Structure formats: structure tokens, C-alpha cells
Structure 1
Amino acid sequence: MYMKYRLYSIIFLVFNIVFAQAQSVGGIHGSIYTEKGQPLADATVRIGSQSTSSLSNGAFSINNIPAGKHAIQVSAIGYQTFQDSILKTAQDDLKLEIRLLANGQRIQEVSVTGKSETQQVREQTIRAVVVDTRAVSTQATTLTDLMNRSTGVRIRQNGGLGSRPEISINGFQGKAIKYFKDGIPIDYMGDGYNIASLPLEVLERIEVYKGVLPVSLGADALGGAVNLVPAKRRGAQLNAFYEIGSFNTHRIGVVASRESNDQKWAYGTELFFNHADNDYKALVGVRDPNTANLEYKRMRMFHNGFENFYGEAFVALQNRSWADELRLSVAGFALEREQQHPALMTDAYGAAMGKQQTVVPSLRYKKSFLDGKLSVDQFASYNNLKTRRIDTLMGRYDWYGEFTPNSTRGESRLPSLSRVNENQLILRTNIGYQINPTTKLDFNYVFTDAQRDGEDPYGPRLDGTDIDVLSLQSTYQKQVFGVSLDKYWLEEKLHNQLMGKYYRYNASGIQNTWFSTNITEADKRNVSGNYWGIAEALRYRITPQAFVRGSLEYTYRLPEREELFGNNIFVVPNFELEAEKSLNASLGYQQTFAGSLTVEANTFYRNTKGLILLVPIQAPNAQYQNQENVRGFGFDLDINYRFAKHYRAMANATWQNLRLHGITNAQDLWKNDARLRNTPYFFANAGIQSDYNNVFSTNDNLKAFVNYNFMREFYLETIPKELEPGGFLGLSGQANINSNLRIPNQHLLNAGFTYKLPTGHIHLGAEVRNLLDKDLYDYYRVQRPGRSFHLKLSYQL
């Protein structure tokens, strides 16, 4: 009943929040500069019948520009008038940079080219795989499915909607991958703001960086980063949606904003709610009550539900003499996640669950000085993240959902009624200075401070006392400094980025193994460290349609809070962890042919020492530990082809050869040159999409799509190299090992469509996931949902 009440409340909000209507057809935005690269204020920009003036930083914005060819004219007192034409697509905002010549100067040729921000990010010097979420926001799909179609990226979840995602980028995974929201690290948001639960509507795009990160993303990421870029809200907009799907899935939300005509202020909100029972059937081992033999049967997941609510509101002052933007935001979320089984699908739980919530105020300030040469971007946030674990049942459930009482408390053998409070402070400062039109210097600093304590009446006590170990405060503090020098050469064909980073951290807490009999004062730990990193990235544009880029990086990755402290569930603390260090290199080439075919090929090399992995220890516990050294290389290929007026096809494939090396322990010598366990080494995607206008009525639109994903078998544990399958790149046959250690070949087929009604405001989306109803697995061989059906209704103003 509580879930239904919240669901009805959100539906009420969706259909009663009303803003001024403005059809969401995108706009044209950009900046006006002098010939010396200085921002030009009060220039008049006219596109078609609309006009505006540039601001003090040279920026301008004209909204609601329909698709097609448009004339553009830019004029300013003392400068030559600029005129040209631009072509705008239906989906993209265009971002232009235009330079005006002073009167009296001659000009031989003038041209202007506009690219969407998404395309600009794809072509930047530091490689990023870009997932354009806005282009598919009306589809009845998820962020994780979209990202899984990307080259070199695997999103892995232990279950259905809301299960915690683990992203793997070119073989690196877990905490080696950092998450950001518009350039700000979002560790402080816990599980409330992540790709497992975010709707497509709240984002403009997702940027997935592999290896080297730009300095503006201040983090000690080793394998890459995911930057969630919020949707740009200009003018007045309203976007509401409701999705219903198999396994009692409900997703509903509203995103609304308003900006004043003079662009001096703006406000808005986003609200969304997710609920899923996730009660699909999975193949699990069930004990025969008569013989006690283990038999594998398809059983319903009866305690696997997820529910969360997220809300955020902001107000912003913009384009003032003292601030380009001052934005105050308040976000909050609450989630509940049922736990059906431990890390492996060995036992059934029927009551264990976790909860998490927080309220996060934040402040962001942006300002340009010295005629736009100097820019400052400051962010600050403080919150208290509250996490609960509940496992107090005095009895056991079996896979049939039948309960057997007993005198032992806790289904997981770790009874808990814990409350953990984590006070978090994050400060981020970014300063950029444009030395000249071809040279820029950037500085970035991120400070993170977290203090954690809590209580658990069933948790361990300090030896000889009644002091709750969880009540003893744990602390974590991290600082990341970064500086980069950007330089263009050879008439801007060559772009070089040289970056240096400095990392520092300290932490304190209890080295509580959870299964030891005594915890004493001697178990208190204080650890710290500081490290340097350096990176170089180059891009050379051979032609306007082709470029080559590469990067080289030597860097460190610090142990994170959860790796040191554990998570108060099954991950136990480990203050003996050392920082990972790695040498990473990449080289890639991209070319567009005739505007319809884009081909990109990349290769990479990794050499990592002290890789931190989550490994099982004493059941049901796991612990983050420094593993053997890992070295390897790989390649990926991405093809995007519009082969007819109404059809577009895409395909990509990734192969990676990551292997252990440098093992000297006599008992483990056999592991040398073995593959990194629990890590896929080959996966591929293919898809096709059709796009038709005026299908059933004038001004309607129908898009249909089919996407296929293949993942080659990989292995739960380390296996000797001689037992691996043979064939070219190990892609044929199967490993000669126990089938329970093999995560088999997997085939996933999704299909669906979106239909835009003639009014342009209402969209209907439908999708069938896992159309072939195949068995799909992820980390620790946990099975994912079978075939499911999803229907989505969207309303846009």
C-alpha cells in the first residue's frame, strides 16, 4: 500500500506541474569572439526570424529552432557583419563558435560549421565513448542496456532493475571506474544516483572515458570514468513519462524547468520513482528433502524487489555581472532493496534487505574574468548518507518460499539491525586560463572528507566491553590535484594535452574481520599515502573527416572507502590495501566517409600492479584485496552506417587479453599467464534502426530497432591457460573445466519501437528484452531476468 500511495502521488505531480509551453525541438547556441579570440558582448545574432544578443562572455542562445537549413547573421558595432547558412538536424542542439573581423580588415573566405556537443566530445583528444541519451529518451529501455551497446563497455548487474551495477571498461572494473555528474564526483550520492535507476529523460548524454581522464574530472580513476551529463534545460520545458513492464515494473517521473526570456534566472525540478518485484525465474540448486541431493530447478525470485524515489530542485541566477551562474540545488532519495541470496546463488533469503537515504544541498558558482580568458567553476556539497541493513529473522527460507523457524537470528549468519551514518563533504575547484587562442592552462582540485559511525545491536563488540564496534568512528579524506596544458599546433591540426596529477589520502578505522572472535584496540588502523601521476594525449586531424589520437599514462588509484571499511553487509574491511599503479597506453583512428559511414578502430595496453579485486573469503563474506599483477592488451572496432534514407546500422566488437604475471609463490606459479578471472574477454554488438515520417498521419514519426549482444564465455575463478578454449583469439570451443566455473556464451536480443503522435508532444515506446528468453549471467554466475515486455508513455512540452 505504501508503494501504491507513492506511485499515485507521483502520477498526481506529473499531471499537475505546468510550465509555459515550448515545443522541445532543440536550439542553436554558441559564442561570439573577436579575431584575437576574446569574447564579444552585445553582438546581434539573427537566425531566421529570431534574434538575440551575446552576453558578456560572448555566449548566445536561441531556442526552438526546427530542423532544416537556416540563414545566420552576426553583427556588432566596429566589426564586419558575418553571414552564412547552417543545417540543423531534428534532435541535436548545435553549438557554434564565430569570430568577427574588425572593420577595415579584408577576409578571403568565411565559413561556419556547427557540431552538437555530443559530436564534439566524441572527437576530442581524450577518447570518450558517448551515449546520446536524449536521442533515445522516449524508448522503453534502460541506461544499462544503452551502455552495454557501446564499444569496450560492459555493465554487469546481479539481478533486475535496481541491482547495483558494475561497469567494466577495457577489462578494468569496480572502483577503478569513477562516476561523475557534470564533472563532479558523485560518491556522496551512494546508490541513489546511478545508471541502474536513472531514467533517460534526466540526461543529455553519458561520456565513458577509457584510461586517461581530462583534468576537469578530478579523480584517481585507473581504468576510466563515466560522466553523467544532465539534460540542458533552456526556455520552458516539461517532460513526463510512465513505463510499465514485466515483473511488476513501474517507472514514472517528471522533469520540468523554466528560464526567463533574458536568461537571467532559471528554476526547475526532476522527480522519478522506480519499483520492480524482479520476481523472474532462475536456475538454482535446490536440495531434495528426501535424498538431500542438489537438483537444479527454475525457481521464482520471491524476495528480490527494488524501490526508490529521487527528487531534485534547483534555482539559478545567470549572466550577472558578478556570476555567469550561481546554482543552488537540493536533491534527496530513499531506496529499499530486498536481498534474495548472498554473492553466489547458493541460499535463499526471504527477509534480509537494505535501505539508504540522504538529502544533499549543493552550490555551484561559475564566472569568467579578464574578457573570458580566466574561468572559475566552484562546487560545494555536504550531506549525511544513511544506510541500514536488516537481517534479524529467526529462521530460514528455502527456494520454494517456505519458512522454517529456528533459534538462530539472521539468515546470512551475520545478523544485523545496523544504522550507518556517513557525513560527507566535497569541494571541487576548476580554474582555466586561456593564455592565447591556441594555448590553455587548467587546474582542478577535489577535496573529499567522510566520517562514518553507526550502531548495530547484533554487531560485534570491542573485546571486554559493551562498546559497539560500529559506533567507533571511521574517517576518510582524499585530495586530488590536477593541472593540464592544452596546446594547438600546425593550424590547429595537432592538439596536445600534457597532464600531471597528485593524489593524497588518509583513513582510519577498525580492521574488523567479522568472523574473528575478539576485536581489540590493536585492531585500530591509520593508513595514508601520496602519489604522482602523469599523462599525455595527442590528436592529429589528417582531414576534416579523419583523425588519429593516442595517449600514454602512468598513474595510481587509491583504495576507496568501501574497500577499506567494507559495506557492513558482506564486504569486510581491509586496511592493508595498497594503491594500484598502472601504465596505460592507447592508439585510435576515426574516419567518416561521405557523411554516412563512420569507422573507428582502437587498441590499448595495460600493465597494472596490485590490482584491487573483490574476492570471496570465508562464506558468506568477501573482501577487497590486492591481487597479482595484470598485464594485457586489446582492440575494439566500431562501425556506424546510414545505408539508406530511413535506415541506420551499427556494430562493434571488443577483444581483450588481460593476464596475470610476476607470480613467484611456488604454489601459484601455474597462474602466470592465466586470464583475469570473472572478466569477459570478448563481446560484440549489432543493431539496426529505421526512421519513418508521415506513416499513419502527417507529422507523425515511427522508429523501430533491433539490438543483438554476444558475450563470449568467461570464468568464475582463475583457470590454467592450457585449459582455455582454442581457435582464433580463443573464440571457438569451450574451456575444459567444471561447468559451474564457466559462465557460458550469451546471446541477448532486444527489439522495440517508438511512435510520435502528430501533435509532437506524445510518444509511445515499447520494447521486448531478451526476446529469445536465453539464460543470461553476470558476476559470480548470478542469473539475470528472462524475456520481459515494457511499454512507455512520454509527454513533452
Structure 2
Amino acid sequence: MKIDLSEIKQVVRIALFFSILFTGTSLYAQSQKREMGKIIGYVKDTEGKIIQGATVYVLNTAYSTQVDKDGHYVLVVGSGDYEVMSSAVGFIGNKVKITVGKGENKYQQFVLKADPNTSIEQVVVEGKSAIQEVRETPFNVVALDAKSHYNTTLDLAHLLDKASGVKIRETGGLGSDMNITLNGFTGRNIRVFMDGVPMEGMGTAFQLNNIPVNMAERIEVYKGVVPIEFGADAMGGVINIVTNRTQNTTLDASYSYGSFNTHKSNVSLNHTFKSGVSLQLNAFQNYSDNNYKVKTDYRIFAKEGKPVTGDDDDIWQEGSAWSADSAWFRRFHDSYRNETIMAKVGIVGKKWADRMLLGLTLGQVHQDVQHGAEMRYVYGERTAHSKSFLPSFVYDKRNLIVEGLSVRVTGNYNYQKAGSVDTTDFKYSWTGDRRLMKDLRGQSNAFGEASYGLSEYSNSNQSGTVNIGYRINTGHSLAFNNVLSNYTRKPDMQRVADALFPSLPTAADSMSRTSFKNTLGLEYRYTYQRKWNTNIFAKHYTNRASGPGTHAETEETYKQKEEVSKTGYGIASTYFLRNLQLKASAEKAYRLPNDRELFGDELLEEGNVALKPEESNNYNIGFTFNKELSNDYSIYVDWSGYYRDTYNFIQTLLARIGDEVNGSSMYRRTNHGRVTRLGTDVEARVYYKNTGTIGATLTYMDIRDKVRFTDKDGKKENGNYKYRMANLPYFFWNADASYYVHDFLKKGNTLNLNYTLNFVDKIYKNSMAYGEKSTKAFIPKQFYSDFSATYILEDGKYNISFEARNLEDAMLYDNYSLQKPGRSFAVKLRYFFIKR
């Protein structure tokens, strides 16, 4: 392996900078320490029992802490007069006024009453929850409360779609391929984590659009600049799914049935013994025929110049043609089924470990494939399948050995066996007709057709994370993070050879694909009187990849190897006023190509081992305004603006294989040069008592192609220079309103009504410069609404929900005119039991 001395010197300089910074600030910190005081006490319920997970914080500041396993808390503050609040999930918050002198210890015990309306926590804005604590970091982050959506049929992806700046894009119905657009970045520019552990390599059985929302407590969305604890090369941002960590005994079971013969079921079980042994079990299942209607061009089979229908074993001499007009058809080969089970067992709440858990996830997927990257090329027998085996380990401990030292260690091994099958001798049309493919000699010609395919391969992904943080005092802390990951894909060519014949696999087919990544991060955090927080950090990225490549001149296949090493850095800062929080951040960031971009998916995407890392200068500003207007009303406003200047942008293109009529299509990725993004996100929400809420999110992005020339010599002008980038949504918003009818029909029962209005502006399918000349070159505006009604019985023990999505039956698309389902309905039954 090559050693780049310049990179090593740069890392040494960064480490030296942190050492000097630490020495200077430590001296200042010692002088400041004597000025601080403490608020000390316990948080209990009305029966004198400890409330696990309770939070104590000072209103209108960033002072906050959580109780330990004994219900005890210590809150270090500067001298002054404060309003101190304690809150916990399922309890009514309690607020007191306290005066703290220099170096004084104040003792305050909080007694919280149980909240009779626990099931509608989403409209309780008083009390600093984990979501509010995340929002108060110096990073541009929003947090979504998953608990308030437990009675819906939402999966994690469609809950995430409600966040400002986020757009979930799918290629069809349940189980279809999806990617995330966040602040103008899309796909693998955004990394997804579950409890801080990367989900990369977890397989199709465990992706966001099939995981039920009931598995999560909240979703954190970091836009642009990302904290080092994730160890991610994520230029666009990070999505962190925080699962339920309750130590209460809970059982959550649900089943739903909806349009297109869609079935979803989920069971979650949590129990912690007095000894500290914790058991967690989650199991879910999804199935759908996905037989909704679509409007598309279609193939007309022809023989001797005349259209023909039905099965015809005669020689197909003249191929097929496209219809003059598009028509409506029902999808007939698009069923999806997956089953997944997750189990965790370990120890919680010990002196030597806050959490130490071993986990195992098993999952499988089977799906029919209706079409490729364009709907016109329809498949009638192609299928895809996968099985996943995912053992994991996590260890967490705050105040390990010494006060202020926190350690987190995780390990994952993700193994996936997957493949696709399409060995039919027939080509299909949306009309339901199929034609046997033969050449003029009467021999089967299926093997030469672009739609033909058979693949079988195994993916293995190993990752490990070490995160060490040290809080020197209330004003200064340091953090170190390192993430290692290794990916290997091995084709199973023996199965392909057995199914077909030994000469079919090429050298590229049988070649293994490998990728090794290492991301190291260092961070210094400064806090001034809990009103001003600043993080300074640096990240070093390393990536080595190898896979099939082709010589340009000879077209011979060889094993191509690529290696990169980059260093990024940044700063994030926030300042608190009475009801206002200001934020700003900047970063020099890199994003390494992931395994799917490097090696494809063996189905609808081609790989490109030669992809270069994306490089971007990211700038963010924003504010959060949170104010109680009166005893009845509260308001929340979050605004952010951003600018991204990206080089070696990895663009997804649509590539045709074969001719216009008889070919197929796939996605292909390439580095595109320079792209800039200027955008804004805003979320506003008004709460009325414990009765209702109304709010909206809006996103606008101006994403421009800044590549002047398309050739190395600078002679060929780029026709799309300074125009919008294609296939990316740039303006979208949603507005929602919820209303709660308490004691509906019976005391303790609640009726929840929710309505959401959605809008997406037109999306150019191809370069905007050319798209303006054709009405068929863009996806039109989309306007649709959703409605849901939930009846909550016996304070949330029994729940019945009805949902109607896309009430207008609008034609909905995300990319390249792949149509999503129309109007649909669903009913969900849920049982929830909790023993505190």
C-alpha cells in the first residue's frame, strides 16, 4: 500500500493544533470552574418511585441533563436566577424557580404526576425531550418524533419524508428501490445509521421503506455538516434512526390491510429484569401485489408488418414497435414479500456498562421485477431474491473509570446472499401478450436478448466503530472517532454455469469486488455559560476498491484497483437567546463512492470502479424560534439556508442497452465535474393546548450544472451549462393539521384526525436546457393529499386506524417517470401494553 507523506503530515498538524488548543483552553477552564454552581436532586413519581429517562433542564438555555439509574441528577450551571424544568415521557412536567450563587450547591427534588394523555405525546411541547436536545446542538439538524405515528401504517422512509429538506424517492410501490434527497444531495451522499451504527450493507430485507415506524423512538436528520461520532463521509447529511431504549416492559403488536392486497404486521417486545438483563425483540412482515394501474407507452408485437396478439411460436421476423399513444395498464408482475426478525440481549444500567448488547437480525426478500429503469421495457418473469444474516455488538458507558470519559464501541457483520433470475425465452408487453424469441434458423435467441439475466452473489460487510469522548469540564470537551468497514461481493458462478452452460460467464462476471474504508475524526467542543457552543473538527478518509474494469482500446477485462486518501475539516457553532437559537457551520467534506456505485446491483445498475470521491465546500446558517405565546398556544419555527459547491459530482444517468425497440435500460453513474446548490428549508408549527396542531415544511433548491466543457481539451461546450441538474426535485412542500377529541364516546378514549397536503414542482427528466423544448421531457407538478383517523381506546391500549392516501388519485412520480401507486386505503389494528 502506498504511504502518502503529505497526508500524514496534514494529520500530524491537525493533532498538534488540537493539542495546543487543548492546553490553552484547559488553563482558562480552571479559572472559570470556580464560578460555577450545581443543582442537585432526584426525580420521582407520586409514589416515590424513580423515573427512568427523566430530563432536568433550565428554560431558555442549553443547560440540561438526564437522571442516572438511581433517579439522581447533577446540573452544573453558572450563577444566576433560573427556571428549572423536569420532564419524562408519560408524565406531566414540573417547573420551579431557583437562584444559584457562585460555587453554591442547590438541592431540588422533582415529583412528577403521570400524564393521563400519554398516547398523544406529540402535542405536548413543554419539557425538554431528547428531540429538543438534538435540535439544540450546533449542527443543522431536525428531529422527528416516531412515537406519535405508531398507529399509522408508515414505514421509516415515509415518516422521514415529512422532514423539511427531505424527499424520499421510490421507483414504485411497496418494497421498491428508494433513495433520499436531502438539501440537493441524493442517494449515497446521505448515510443512514441505526443507533449510530451504519446501515450500509444490511441488505434489501432491512431498508427504510420496509421497516415499520414502531421500531423507532425518533429520527434525527443532520443536514450538511455531520458530527464526527458518526464517522461518516456524508456530504449531504446523516439520517440516524434511534430505536426504543425503554427499560419498561412493553408489547406492541399490529396488523394492517390495504389496497393492492397489501399486508403489514409487526411485533415488538421489550423487557428488563431487575438484574439488569435486557431483552428486545422486533419482527415484521410486508406483502403486496403492487397491482396498481399505470399509464405508459407499450410494445406492439408485429409479424409480416401486422400486429399480432397471444402466444405465437412462429419465427418473430420483424420484432416490435411502440404504440403511438400511451394507455392505462394494471401491473401484473410486481409482488413483494419480506420477513425480518431482530433480537437483542444484554446488560443495561451497570457500573461498568450503561448498555452492552448482542444482536442478531435475520431477513429475507422475494420480489417480482415488473420493469427496469423505464416502464416501457416490461418484464413478465424476472424475479429478485435475498437473505440477510446480521450479528451485531454494542457497548456504551458514560463516566468510565473517570468522570467525563465516555466510550462507545460497536461491531457489525452483515452477510447477504442475493440474486436475480430471468431465463425466459419470451418478451412481454403491457397488453399481457408475450412473444417467443427465435432467430431465422429457429434457434432460441433468448440468451442474446438484453432483458435476459441470471445472477447469484454474496455480499459481506464488516464494520467497527470506536467513539471516545472526554468532558474536561462544563466548558471544554474532546472527542475521537474511528470507523472501519470492509465490503466483499463474490459471484456464485457455479450456479449460473449449472443453470446455463460453462461458457456464458465472462471474466467480469466471475471477478470478486472489494472495498475497504477508514474514517478517522477528531473534535474539540467549547461551551460558554451554556449559551454558546462551538465544535471544531477534522476527518481523514481512506478508501481502497477493486473490481472489473475494461481497457478502452482492447476492451479486455482486468481487475481494476483504485485508492484514495483525503482530509476534511469544519466548524459548527450555535448561540442561545431567550427564545431564539442561532446556528452556523462550514465544512470541507469528501464523500467516497459506496459499494453499489462502485459495483452495481447485478440487476438494474452498472458499477464503475473508477469513480472519484466527491468533494464539497458546505456552508449552513439557520435559526430556531420556540416560544409559548400563552397558556394555550405555542409556536415553533426552524429555518436554514445552505450553499454547496461540489466537485466530481457523482451523477446517475439512464443508459439504454440494445436498440430503441428491442433493448432495455439500466442506471449508470459517472463523475460530472462541478455542481452548485443554493437552497432553503423552513418548518413552522403552532400547538393549541393538548388539542391540536397545524404546521408546514417547505424546501427550495437551486441546483446548477457548472461544467463549462464536456471534453478534456476544453473545446466541446456543455449545452446544460448553468442550467438545472436533471432528475432532481427542487421545490416541494407539505402542510398538515391534527385535531384530538378527548374522552370521545368514553372517558379515556381519544379520536385523532389528521390531514396532509403535498406538493412537488415539475422535475426535468433530462438536461433542463433540452427539457424546456419538450413537454414530455419533464415530470409535471404533483398535488395530492392524505387523511387518517385513529381511535385510541383505554389510554392507548387498543387502537384502530383508517388511512386514505393520494385522495385525488393523482399520477405520482419520483424519477424517470416511474409511476407510484394511485389512491389507496388501509386499516390498522394495534395493541399496546406497558408496565413501568
After TM superposition, the score normalised by the length of structure 2 is 0.81
Quote the Cα distance in structure 2 between the aligned partners of 1:570 and 1:427.
Answer: 30
- The equivalences for 1:48-87 within 5 A come to 48-52=46-50, 59-60=68-69, 66-68=90-92, 81-84=107-110
Give the direction of change, closer, same or farther, for the CA distance of 1:430–1:38 in structure 2 (3 Å limit). Answer: farther
Give the conservation status (yes or no) of the 8 Å contact 1:238–1:256: yes
> Which of these residues, 487, 490, 494, is aligned with residue 526 of structure 2?
487
> Which of these residues, 550, 572, 581, is aligned with residue 584 of structure 2?
550
Give the conservation status (yes or no) of the 8 Å contact 2:158–2:209: no
Is 1:505 the counterpart of 2:539 in the alignment?
no
Is 1:496 the counterpart of 2:537 in the alignment?
no
> Which of these residues, 571, 575, 578, is aligned with residue 536 of structure 1?
571
Which residue of the partner structure matches residue 294 of structure 2?
Answer: 282
Give the direction of change, closer, same or farther, for the CA distance of 1:652–1:412 in structure 2 (3 Å limit). Answer: farther
> Which of these residues, 354, 378, 381, is aligned with residue 412 of structure 2?
381
Which residue of the partner structure matches residue 633 of structure 1?
Answer: 678
Quote how far apart the aligned CAs of 1:324 are: 2.5
Is 1:420 the counterpart of 2:432 in the alignment?
no
Give the conservation status (yes or no) of the 8 Å contact 1:72–1:86: no
Is 1:47 the counterpart of 2:45 in the alignment?
yes
Amino acid at match of 1:558: L
Q: Which of 498-507 and 351-360 deviates more?
A: 351-360
- For the residue of structure 1 that corresponds to 2:597, the secondary structure is helix
- For the residue of structure 2 that corresponds to 1:124, the secondary structure is coil
Amino acid at match of 1:272: F
Amino acid at match of 1:60: K
Quote the Cα distance in structure 2 between the aligned partners of 1:423 and 1:141.
Answer: 30
Give the direction of change, closer, same or farther, for the CA distance of 1:432–1:512 in structure 2 (3 Å limit). Answer: same
Give the direction of change, closer, same or farther, for the CA distance of 1:530–1:297 in structure 2 (3 Å limit). Answer: same
Give the conservation status (yes or no) of the 8 Å contact 2:251–2:267: yes
Amino acid at match of 2:412: S
Quote how far apart the aligned CAs of 1:433 are: 0.6
Amino acid at match of 2:68: A
Is 1:409 the counterpart of 2:446 in the alignment?
yes
Q: Which of 491-500 and 588-597 deviates more?
A: 588-597
Quote how far apart the aligned CAs of 1:627 are: 1.1
Structure 2: which 5+ residue stretches go unaligned? 1-33, 54-65, 72-86, 99-103, 308-320, 438-443, 658-664
CA RMSD, aligned part only? 3.2
- For the residue of structure 2 that corresponds to 1:669, the secondary structure is coil
Give the direction of change, closer, same or farther, for the CA distance of 1:418–1:69 in structure 2 (3 Å limit). Answer: closer
Quote how far apart the aligned CAs of 1:561 are: 1.2
Give the direction of change, closer, same or farther, for the CA distance of 1:759–1:505 in structure 2 (3 Å limit). Answer: closer
Q: Percent identity?
A: 27
Is 1:450 the counterpart of 2:498 in the alignment?
no
Quote the Cα distance in structure 1 between the aligned partners of 2:700 and 2:582.
Answer: 20
Quote how far apart the aligned CAs of 1:140 are: 3.0
Cα displacement string for residues 289-341 of structure 1 (whole angstroms, at most 9, x for unaligned residues): 55654321110111111110110111111233432221011111101121111
After TM superposition, the score normalised by the length of structure 1 is 0.85
Is 1:327 the counterpart of 2:357 in the alignment?
yes
Amino acid at match of 1:639: A
- For the residue of structure 1 that corresponds to 2:201, the secondary structure is helix
- For the residue of structure 2 that corresponds to 1:652, the secondary structure is strand
Which residue of the partner structure matches residue 826 of structure 2?
Answer: 790
Is 1:703 the counterpart of 2:752 in the alignment?
yes
Is 1:642 the counterpart of 2:654 in the alignment?
no
Cα displacement string for residues 723-782 of structure 1 (whole angstroms, at most 9, x for unaligned residues): 7xxxxxxxxxxx743222111000120011111013631001111000010111111111
Which residue of the partner structure matches residue 22 of structure 2?
Answer: none
- The equivalences for 1:354-753 within 5 A come to 354-367=384-397, 368-406=399-437, 407-409=444-446, 413-456=450-493, 469-489=508-528, 491-511=529-549, 520=556, 523-543=558-578, 545-594=579-628, 596-619=634-657, 620-643=665-688, 646-665=691-710, 666-720=715-769, 736-753=772-789
Quote the Cα distance in structure 2 between the aligned partners of 1:399 and 1:615.
Answer: 25
Quote the Cα distance in structure 1 between the aligned partners of 2:776 and 2:595.
Answer: 32
> Which of these residues, 267, 289, 295, is aligned with residue 279 of structure 2?
267
Q: Which of 401-410 and 420-429 deviates more?
A: 401-410
Give the direction of change, closer, same or farther, for the CA distance of 1:384–1:430 in structure 2 (3 Å limit). Answer: same
Is 1:160 the counterpart of 2:195 in the alignment?
no
- For the residue of structure 2 that corresponds to 1:436, the secondary structure is coil
Amino acid at match of 1:500: A
Give the direction of change, closer, same or farther, for the CA distance of 1:570–1:141 in structure 2 (3 Å limit). Answer: closer
- The equivalences for 1:749-788 within 5 A come to 749-758=785-794, 760-788=796-824
Amino acid at match of 2:418: T
Quote the Cα distance in structure 2 between the aligned partners of 1:138 and 1:209.
Answer: 26
Quote the Cα distance in structure 2 between the aligned partners of 1:785 and 1:466.
Answer: 37
Quote how far apart the aligned CAs of 1:79 are: 7.4
Quote the Cα distance in structure 2 between the aligned partners of 1:52 and 1:283.
Answer: 59
Quote the Cα distance in structure 1 between the aligned partners of 2:431 and 2:415.
Answer: 39
Quote the Cα distance in structure 1 between the aligned partners of 2:680 and 2:151.
Answer: 33
Amino acid at match of 2:654: P
Quote the Cα distance in structure 1 between the aligned partners of 2:488 and 2:236.
Answer: 27
Quote the Cα distance in structure 2 between the aligned partners of 1:125 and 1:86.
Answer: 30
Cα displacement string for residues 651-681 of structure 1 (whole angstroms, at most 9, x for unaligned residues): 1211111101142244433321110110111
Give the conservation status (yes or no) of the 8 Å contact 1:461–1:468: no
Quote the Cα distance in structure 2 between the aligned partners of 1:487 and 1:60.
Answer: 28
Which residue of the partner structure matches residue 222 of structure 1?
Answer: 235
Quote how far apart the aligned CAs of 1:408 are: 3.0
Per chain length, whose mean CA-contact separation is higher, i.e. which structure has more relative contact order (CA < 8 Å, sep 6+)?
A: 2
Give the direction of change, closer, same or farther, for the CA distance of 1:580–1:681 in structure 2 (3 Å limit). Answer: same
> Which of these residues, 320, 331, 335, is aligned with residue 305 of structure 1?
335
Cα displacement string for residues 107-141 of structure 1 (whole angstroms, at most 9, x for unaligned residues): xxxxxx94110121122211212221111111233
Quote how far apart the aligned CAs of 1:44 are: 5.5
Quote the Cα distance in structure 1 between the aligned partners of 2:39 and 2:405.
Answer: 11
> Which of these residues, 252, 273, 297, is aligned with residue 265 of structure 2?
252
Cα displacement string for residues 564-597 of structure 1 (whole angstroms, at most 9, x for unaligned residues): 1121113222122111100010111111232511
Amino acid at match of 1:649: I
Give the conservation status (yes or no) of the 8 Å contact 1:349–1:411: no
Which residue of the partner structure matches residue 214 of structure 2?
Answer: 201
- For the residue of structure 2 that corresponds to 1:671, the secondary structure is coil
Which residue of the partner structure matches residue 17 of structure 1?
Answer: none
Give the conservation status (yes or no) of the 8 Å contact 2:45–2:111: no
Give the direction of change, closer, same or farther, for the CA distance of 1:404–1:129 in structure 2 (3 Å limit). Answer: same
- For the residue of structure 1 that corresponds to 2:188, the secondary structure is helix
Quote the Cα distance in structure 2 between the aligned partners of 1:458 and 1:387.
Answer: 13
Quote the Cα distance in structure 2 between the aligned partners of 1:560 and 1:138.
Answer: 35
Give the direction of change, closer, same or farther, for the CA distance of 1:69–1:657 in structure 2 (3 Å limit). Answer: closer
Which residue of the partner structure matches residue 345 of structure 2?
Answer: 315
Q: Which of 242-251 and 182-191 deviates more?
A: 182-191
Quote how far apart the aligned CAs of 1:641 are: 0.9
Amino acid at match of 1:325: R
Give the conservation status (yes or no) of the 8 Å contact 1:157–1:164: yes
Q: Which of 413-422 and 442-451 deviates more?
A: 413-422
Amino acid at match of 1:716: K
Give the conservation status (yes or no) of the 8 Å contact 1:512–1:572: no
Amino acid at match of 1:616: L
Residue correspondences, number: 722
- For the residue of structure 2 that corresponds to 1:250, the secondary structure is strand
Give the direction of change, closer, same or farther, for the CA distance of 1:173–1:759 in structure 2 (3 Å limit). Answer: closer
